[in-house]
Structure 1
Amino acid sequence: MTNSRALQGVRVLDLTRVLAGPFCGQILGDLGADVTKIERPGAGDDGRMYGFSALKDSEGNPTRESAFYLTANRNKKSLTCNLSKPEGQELIRKLVAEYDVLIENYKVGNLARYGLDYESLKAINPRLIYCSITGYGQTGPMAPKPGYDGLFQATGGMMAVTGIPAGQPGAGPLKAGPSLVDVFTGHNAALAILGALNQRHSTGLGQYIDVALLDCSVAMVSHIMQDYLVSGNPPPRLGNGGNGGGPADLINCSDGIIYITAGTDEHWRLLTELMERPDLFSDPRFDTNPKRGTNRNELVAIINQWSMAWKGADLLEALDKIGLPAARYNELPDVWEDVQVQHRKLKVTVPHPLAGEVTMLASPLAYMSGSPMDYTAPPTIGQHTDEILGSQLGMSEDEIAELKAKGII
């Protein structure tokens, strides 16, 4: 068995910024592709200024490496290039001739103005796989509009089924905390690129990929949206309730909260025995999954009245003994105290040119037996410009210095 990376030898030009596009590029980098991130000279990726926190350098001073940027740009190199200038456009064309994949998330038509659209670059490299990530797609009445995650959580249906149930205080839709549409879109774009790379083995040709946050936002409502398509009835918001069998919900203990999922009739029977309430199993309000869903508020109140006599750890142990799925509720600091999270090594610390080192979320792709995971820190702006132009395009130090003087790189 060799220890090569899954995408070793694949070169990717990442012309994206913020989250969905960079996340796509990061996945390809995690799999071993050689990813070159193209950034604006001086400014860089807009995502460098997003979020609440920024990495501090080795002397404790804040840097321009925001936590938001760090989450989607590991395993890449950064090359600065001013795409609005002819010289910058020509650099991209020269690189495209040597690359396999280009990812971009500019507004529809913007790169065509620079001669960097798919049709123009396909003429240079017919094997190029060109992936455009936009809010609304390349066609249709809303195609020119910009798009961000929250818009599509609202538009695509996620907020319609997320939030506090009707009839309860504060009832109404809620946005999910993380930018889930962005992340889901990044994953889908990476999957499409992998499919195109595989097809290229037989055709010898690249292709154009049009990925939209709108499309992904509708698709990610998944089984709940499918329920609507089948029944014609919009499912209610369930708050913290599960979308399948139940009872499934947050349950209060004397010292905290846990989550239980009694997803089958057998799970429900086991729970009623633990509660010493076997009568509930045959209670006509709760004797089928649909009934337990319809009467979930009443049922969860009964369970909470019982669970408040337990400490969370004791109840989790008791539920584990009878084979009923349950988990403790974690605040963010608690996540990293979880023994399974620690065992799976879900955070990694790597060297960083400004901070000395940086701790990041690990890749969930780390456990591929034939493709060991390596990590490099997200690059600083233009960190690899000289290296890439010199080694890949054969430019001299004087040529690179002249481009810098002109503001091209």
Structure 2
Amino acid sequence: MNNGPLTGVRVVDLTHALAGPYGTMLLADLGADVVKVEAPAGDMSRRAGPYPPEDTTHVFGGYFQSINRGKRSIVLDLKTPEGISTFRELVRDADVLVENFSVGVMERLGLAYESLAIDNPRLVYAAVRGFGDPRSGESPYAAWPAFDLVVQAMAGIMGITGTEDGRPIKVGPGVGDIFPGTLLALGVVSALYEARGSGRGQFVDIAMYDAVLSLCERIVYQHSYTGAVPVPEGNKHPLLSPFDVLPATDGWVTIAAPNDSRWRRLCELIGRPDLGADPDFATNVRRVERRDDVFDALAAWTSCRSKAEILQCLGGSVPVGAVRDAAEIMADPHVASRDMLIELEHPGATNSVVVAGQPLKFSRT
């Protein structure tokens, strides 16, 4: 029986693709009763795959499964009076409505927040769009469609992520969707908390652009304080050293020890106490100025050792981690002990499939 902290909260989910469904997945994982409303054609992510080898039905694939688990589903055609009527009945009894249509779509359907709030004054209406809703401030890009890649480019991620020659590279995970989706869930929960006292809902507005800009907060203060325009620097950090990705005999490891005492401890462990005592490397500021020398000293030590040997030596003393692939992560005992792999049934497949688990842990619910 579900006893999550949001048990009893009813959510009508009109979202599709990734940002919105990720946010409502978080609400479902936390115990909310989420009813996913799909048009007759279905959410676009149903057709994205991948599918288990024996699945010939292709009802949905891994993309859809990963971010829509734990939700109930209904098909409504909001272009028909019957669909609109049923939808209004759902919303009348709901605590939350979430949608990620383009600006103006819900208004054209006669389903604007102001209209729905007349029937349900306590309704928390949340929207996540590429550039936000005009209610909170009208962006010049308000009518532009957006995807993760576009937002990574426009809001700063790709401006500081890339090779040292300046070629931009997108971040692998869809952070341009997932981080806005996470803030969406936080916004919904915050509005629900406020409504407990006021008895009134409100409009919650998340722009993907805004969310990613907040994620890139370092570039804002760095430019404001120094006048510098941050650029891609490969795996180096402009303000911290060591903060590096280093070669091992069987792959790569990361070492981050910008704290001065951690730096000295690192130097002891790799057999370079002379470097730890050198005043030219005594502070993080000085090490940043000489970060190529810091990198070379560490790489000389890591490059003749395996990842396991490096972790055995440094683990628990300085921040260190191996660069791992999905297979290595899924075999990691940490992941098992933290319940970060969830087995689910999949239509058309005899074996269970695995999706990423829920990182929010609670002691009682």
Which residue does 2:331 correspond to in 1?
337
Match of 2:174 in 1: 179
Higher relative contact order (CA 8 A, sep 6+): 1
Aligned counterpart in structure 2 of residue 54 of structure 1, from 51, 55, 58 = 51
Aligned residue number for residue 228 of structure 1: 223
Identify which of 246, 249, 267 aligns with 1:251. Answer: 246
Is residue 4–residue 370 contact of structure 1 (8 Å, CA) maintained in 2? no
Alpha-carbon offset, residue 113 of structure 1: 1.1
CA shift, 1:256, in A, is 2.7
Rounded Cα–Cα distance in structure 1 between residues aligned with 2:308 and 2:89 = 60
1:45 aligns with 2:43: yes
Select 1:325's aligned residue among 319, 329, 337: 319
- After superposition, residues 9-408 of structure 1 pair within 5 angstroms as 9-41=8-40, 43-50=41-48, 53-56=50-53, 59-61=54-56, 63-138=58-133, 139-166=138-165, 171-242=166-237, 245-283=240-278, 285-320=280-315, 323-356=317-350, 357-365=352-360, 367-371=361-365
Deviation string, structure 1 residues 335-364 (Cα, Å, up to 9, x no partner): 112221222221111334443533211111
**Aligned-residue RMSD, C-alpha:** 2.0
Contact 2:55–2:348, Cα closer than 8 Å, also in 1: no
Find the structure with the greater CA-based Rg.
1
1:4 Cα shift? Answer: 2.7
Going from structure 1 to structure 2, the CA distance change for 1:211 and 1:60 (only over 3 Å counts) comes to closer
Against the structure 1 CA distance between its residues 291 and 165, is the aligned structure 2 distance closer, same or farther, given a 3 Å change threshold?
farther
Indicate the larger mover: 253-262 or 176-185: 253-262
Q: CA deviation at 1:246?
A: 2.2
Q: What is the number of equivalent residue pairs in this alignment? A: 360
SS in 1 for 2:230: coil
Give the secondary structure class of the aligned counterpart of 1:259.
Answer: strand
Q: How many percent of aligned residue pairs carry the same amino acid?
A: 36
Structure with a larger share of its residues in helix: 2
Could you give the per-residue CA deviations for residues 206-255 of structure 1, whole angstroms, max 9, x where no partner exists? 11111110111111102343322332212343322346532121222223
Q: Deviations over 1:253-285 (max 9, x none)?
A: 223322111121111112222333233234455
Q: Is the 8 A contact 1:54 1:64 kept in 2?
A: no
2-side partners of 1:121 and 1:55: how far apart?
41
SS at match of 2:67: coil
For 1:202 and 1:243, the matched residues in 2 are separated by: 46
Question: Unaligned stretches of 5+ in structure 1?
Answer: 372-409
Cα distance in 2 for partners of 1:92, 1:248 equals 52
| C-alpha displacement of 1:202 | 1.0
TM-score normalized with structure 1 length:
0.83
**Structure 2: which 5+ runs fail to align?**
none
